[in-house]
Amino acid sequence: MANPSTFLVDHHHVLERVTNLFTMPGLPAAGVFCRDGPPSLLHFYNRDVFAEADAAASLPSPPPEPEPSSPSSPSSPTPPQRRNRIALSLYDLDGTLIRPKSGYKFPRGADDWMWWHRDVPKRLRADVAAGRHVIVLSNQNLHGRLLRDWKDKIRMIAHEIDDVPIRVFAALDRDKYRKPNIGMLEYVLRMYAERGWDVDLRKTFFVGDAAGRTGDHSSDDRNMAHNANLTFRTPEYHFNQPFPRAKTPDEIALAW
Ligand SMILES: [Mg+2]
């Protein structure tokens, strides 16, 4: 039987290919923007990690051990549903993962971007190899052509690191989703919960440049981390730390 989520993804990919024909032909692109969330919260992903994990879990496995017969114990109810557990690497976007390659403060087009630090792609791959999910939480003030350029830029970024499953959220309005509010993070946690995943917030961190330092444009990133009781790191600190050690799938499973 066809997996409904696989169908959904394929459907999105078809839509995406059609959409790209009308946006920026010629620019490399990957990933899809979801249309089923709140209008003020953009949601992009390049790979459906939930469907991939579900598919991996449904591989043939050894038969379950027979239950010991114990007449005194009451018949057990249905076994609890399997739940996955994951730590997240949360990143701000502008001034953290990327910056305009033109050198201007604001980008001049969809392709006006470069990695904030040359090790960003390696670092994101290391996060994944260490058994973490990479999620971007960004505030944006974009409409019309600027918003279309921004979406093209996100597709380009995803294309450049197409081996890294990445999800990008962007708060467009001054509402509960906008950092330093924690609505964007709560949306992410709810999405994970609905798909049967628990997020380990103790091992989750948030990296952002809006840290309230001299010269910073705001302290929204640091304050969001504080409001959500998350570990906060500046990009200057984070991208100069040693890479996390890669774990085997068994180690990742045993870590929980
Ligand atoms: Mg920033």
93 Cα–ligand 1 center, Å: 6
141-166 tens-digit pLDDT = 999 999 999 999 999 999 999 999 99
pLDDT, residue 76, reads 55
pLDDT, residue 61, reads 56
Q: Which residues hold their Cβ within 5 A of ligand 1, which is an ion?
A: 92, 94-95, 209
95 Cα–ligand 1 center, Å: 5
137 Cα–ligand 1 center, Å: 9
223-233 tens-digit pLDDT = 999 999 999 99
218 Cα–ligand 1 center, Å: 9
138 Cα–ligand 1 center, Å: 7
Cα–Cα distance for residue pair 67/46, rounded to 1 Å: 42
Class of domain 26-54+83-254: alpha beta
Nearest to 135 by CA among 44, 211, 52: 44
30 Cα–ligand 1 center, Å: 23
Mean pLDDT of successive 10-residue stretches along the chain, which has 256 residues: 46 47 68 92 94 75 58 54 86 98 92 96 96 97 94 96 96 98 98 95 98 97 98 97 88 66
56 Cα–ligand 1 center, Å: 35
- DSSP assignment of the chain equals ---HHHHHHHHHHHHHHHHHHHS-TTS----EE-SSS-TTEEEEESS-HHHHHHHHHTS--PPPPPPPP-TTSPPP-SPPPP-EEEEEEEE-SBTTTEE-TTSSSS-SSTT--EESSTTHHHHHHHHHHTTEEEEEEEE----HHHHHHHHHHHHHHHHHTTTS-EEEEEE-SSSTTSTTSSHHHHHHHHHHHHTTEEE-TTS-EEE-S-S--TT-S--HHHHHHHHTT-EEE-HHHHTTSPPPPP--HHHHHHT-
92 Cα–ligand 1 center, Å: 6
104 Cα–ligand 1 center, Å: 15
Cα–Cα distance for residue pair 95/98, rounded to 1 Å: 6
Q: Which residues contact 10 (CB under 8 A, 6 or more apart)?
A: none
pLDDT, residue 214, reads 96
Rg (CA), the chain: 20
Four-CA torsion 97, 99, 105, 107, nearest 10 degrees = -110
252 Cα–ligand 1 center, Å: 31
94 Cα–ligand 1 center, Å: 4
85 Cα–ligand 1 center, Å: 28
31 Cα–ligand 1 center, Å: 22
What is the distance in angstroms between the CA of the first residue and the CA of the last residue of the chain?
Answer: 32
pLDDT, residue 94, reads 97
